[in-house]
Amino acid sequence: EWIKWKDEASKTTKFDFGMPLQGICRITSGGITDSDTPVSGYSFIEGDSKDAILELLKSHPHLKRAGSSVDLLEILSMPGM
């Protein structure tokens, strides 16, 4: 199901499937604790517009799992780099 969705997404977007992730530690100025991040993976998607990507993500297979979500994050350019 994931591969079928990725193949469809690749028809209309520039798509890097990414990898699964597992939180290990949270580092703060106060020290190091166990991570409690809900993030479990990432993908890179480049499309014509934010709306086009949002429409694509509505059918993401991850959303079929109870209590799951997908966050859309934008990569921002850094001044001077």
Evaluate if pTM is beyond 0.75. yes
Read off the pLDDT band of 76 (50, 70, 90): very high
Judged against a pLDDT cut of 90, whether residue 17 lies above it is answered with no
- pLDDT > 70 fraction of the chain, expressed in percent and rounded: 100
d(CA 42, CA 49): 19
pLDDT tens sequence across 45-73: 999 999 999 999 999 999 999 999 999 99
User: Is residue 9 classed exposed, middle or buried when 0-12, 13-18 and 19+ CB atoms within 10 A define those classes?
Assistant: buried
d(CA 21, CA 62): 14
Q: What is the pLDDT of residue 49?
A: 93
